[in-house]
Structures are given as C-alpha cells and as structure tokens.
Amino acid sequence: MPCRVSGGGAGAGKVRRILAAGPAPTRTVLEDVVLDLILDAGLEMPDVNVPLEIAGRRIVPDFRWPKRHLVIEADSRTWHDHRIAREDDAERQALLEAHGDRVLRVTWEQALNRRKESLARIRAAAAWPMPSMASCPAITIAPVESMPAA
C-alpha cells in the first residue's frame, strides 16, 4: 500500500520530498544524519554514493550536486580516523577540487551539536559560484555506469 502524507504541518514538505525521491542509498548512520541536515538546509536531493571515475580513479562521494560542483563528505572516526584513510580522503578531495568541485566535510560533532553553524556552512557552499569549465583542468569525469567496458 502506498504511503501518503496528509496535512500541511511542519515538516510535511520535507517528508513528501524524501518519499518522492525514494530511499537514499546511504551507507552509515552518520550519512543518514548528514542527509537530514542537507534537506533541512533546503537543498535538493543530492546524488548519494554515486561512483565517479576521475583521472582514472574510482571515487564515491557521499553527497554530490554535479550542477553546483559541490560535494559533502560525512567524516566519522570509524572510517576516517587513521593515517591511510586521511591520506585517501586528501587525495580524493584533491581530485574533486581539481575538477572544480568544492568539498565540505561534516563530522558527528558538527551534524549533531553544531547544527546551526553546519546548516549555514552548507547553505553558503551551495551558493558558491560555480566555476566555468574553461577554468578547470582537462580531467575526465563520468559516472562509472556510463564508462565503456574494457
């Protein structure tokens, strides 16, 4: 039986947007919390964990708005608090930034205890001027699904 949201109470619009988009393929509880923060900021639903190929490397940003050139990464200690993970995060961020994307990182502390500041940061980043493609280096980026088979 389909789910319906009736009434116009606080949050009804958000619930309708989430239901219309279907379940988001988040991989962690922190990603769920950050997605709520993103939607509370009034942003449209991002691409969630959609693999990309950038300069021959497979990258899976947590949240990405291709037209806004914006990526948000949910950084928990579980997955990002050791040397190899930090080095990998820095390399992935450098590739995304070289392509013209802005990368924001959101931690548990920011998502839960500094929500107001985090919302302001996300809104400001979403309004960040999009670079012209002429200013971006010649890096090929494509969704992994559309890459030709080898």
- Please state whether 29 falls in left (phi above 0), alpha (psi between -120 and 50) or beta: alpha
Q: For each of the chain's 150 residues, which pLDDT tens digit applies?
A: 454 555 566 666 666 665 555 666 888 899 999 998 888 878 889 999 999 999 898 999 999 999 999 999 998 665 556 667 678 888 999 999 998 999 999 999 999 999 989 988 888 888 865 455 444 444 455 555 554 444
Q: Which CATH number fits domain 26-145: 3.40.50.150, 3.40.960.10, 3.40.50.620, 3.40.50.1820?
A: 3.40.960.10
Q: What is the pTM of this model?
A: 0.68
Collapsed DSSP state (helix, strand, coil) of residue 131: coil
What is the number of other CB atoms lying within 10 angstroms of the CB of residue 40? 14
Buried/exposed code over 102-137 (b: 16+ C-beta within 10 A; e: otherwise) = bbbebbbebbeeeeeebbebbeebbeeeeeeeeeee
Residue 114: the pLDDT is: 93
Sign of the CA dihedral running 74, 75, 80, 83: positive
Residue 135: the pLDDT is: 47
